[in-house]
Amino acid sequence: MGVSFFFILSGFILSLNYKEDSQLKSYKRIFILKRILRIYPLHIITLIFMLPFSFPGIWTLKSLSFWIIKLMVQVLLLQSFIPLESVFYSFNGPSWSLSDEMFFYILFPFLLNIYSLNQKWIKFLLPLMVFFIIGLSFIPEKWHLAIVYVQPPVRIMDFILGILLYQFYKVENIKIKRWILSRKLATIMEIGVIILFVLFFAFHYWVPLVYRYSIYYWIPGSLLIFVFSLNQGAISKILSQKIFEKLGEISFSFYLVHGVVLEYFLFQPRNHFIKNDMGMVLGLFFITLFISFPLYKYIELPIKNWAFHKLKSDG
């Protein structure tokens, strides 16, 4: 649920920031450099902290060679292209999604142009989506995780959906804002999409796993992003407060650090996490939150500011 929502949101936000492909024509190199500087520092730091958990069992030539290969693909952010769980979930497991994101970033300048609603290419999108949905049914169950959930060329469909969602937002948001005559109605819409999202989650076990790994959250996720992007309701106003902005700023640090925290405090894989212990859950949550703030302040933010001024001065 979270991954699908994030990939759609990523496509939407990047499109919102860059608006049109014309803004990227003379900016593609800088765009990629900024994305690399956004991802890599924390990725490498969390990777280093996870190295001690990878040392046991590498004392044969074969296992050591495999360990070196896994480390190389992690550093290069290519792990999600290798359909082996022991590779794409190796070291800091959550970083597999960064591999997908980097793939999306490289293609984004081209996708923003190709999938604009003003382009004739849009007529090919519906058949492509139908082909994609039907094709999911033919993927063997043993490949659902490695192919449907993790593979960048498959998950890019979520990212493209975010780009298309922005194109719809660009055309329709003013009309819809005029139609929403009161904050009360906008608030009802916001509550409605939250309830819809919760209902999709509540009934997710009724849906085959292959679709939960892919398309199941497209509708509630897209509606949630679109309605809150209008920023007209009471919940939107609450989420615009500084404390929530700060939490949003540290979300990347939080995401990368949470796997490290779980490993260090539980000394076991995340999927063996102690369930039904809310105290443990809350404790680890706040530890992760506490670590995320200085990582953002002293690593993410300085690098972001340096990159902004450096790349701007380089033209």
Q: Is the pLDDT of residue 282 over 60?
A: yes
Closest residue by Cα to residue 211 from 154, 280, 262, 294? 154
pLDDT attached to residue 118: 54
* Inside any domain, residue 299: no
Task: Indicate if the pLDDT at residue 185 is higher than 60.
Answer: yes
Taking 70 as the threshold, does the pLDDT of residue 133 lie above it? yes
Domain span including residue 191? 2-234
Size (the chain), residues? 315
Categorize the per-residue pLDDT at 304 as very low, low, confident or very high, splitting at 50, 70 and 90: confident
For residue 315, being part of any structural domain is answered with no
Dihedral (Cα; 93, 94, 98, 103), 10-degree rounding? 70
Based on the structure, what is the number of domains in the chain?
Answer: 1
The residue that leads in pLDDT, 194 or 178, is: 194
Where do we find the tokens 């804002």? 177
- By the 10 Å C-beta count (0-12 exposed, 13-18 middle, 19+ buried), 216 is classed as buried
pLDDT band at 312 (very low <50, low <70, confident <90, very high): low
**pLDDT higher than threshold 70 for residue 122:** no
Task: Give the model's pLDDT for residue 53.
Answer: 85
Instruction: Provide the terminal-to-terminal Cα distance of the chain, rounded to the nearest Å.
Output: 39
Report CA-CA distances (Å) from 43 to 52, 227, 248, 255, 256.
16, 32, 18, 11, 7
**Mind listing the pLDDT tens digit for each residue in 219-261?**
999 999 999 998 888 999 999 899 999 999 999 999 999 999 9
Is residue 123 assigned to a domain?
Answer: yes
Q: Which two tokens stand for residue 97?
A: 């999604």
- pLDDT of 46 > 80? The answer is yes
Is 312 within the bounds of a domain?
no
pLDDT of 8-35, one tens digit each?
A: 999 999 988 887 555 555 566 778 888 8
Give the dihedral of Cα atoms 225, 227, 228, 230; nearest 10 deg.
Answer: 120
What pLDDT, on a 0 to 100 scale, did the predictor assign at position 95?
A: 94
The mean pLDDT of 151-172, rounded to a whole number, is 89
Q: Sign (positive/negative) of CA torsion 225, 227, 232, 235?
A: negative
- What confidence tier does 54 reach under pLDDT thresholds 50, 70, 90? confident
pTM: 0.86
Q: Which of 84-88, 95-99, 198-202, 311-315 shows the lowest mean pLDDT across its residues?
A: 311-315
Query: Is 285 part of any domain?
Result: no
Residue 113 within a domain:
yes
Kindly state whether residue 6 falls inside one of the protein's structural domains.
Answer: yes
Q: Is pLDDT of 112 > 90?
A: no
Q: Residue 167 domain-assigned?
A: yes
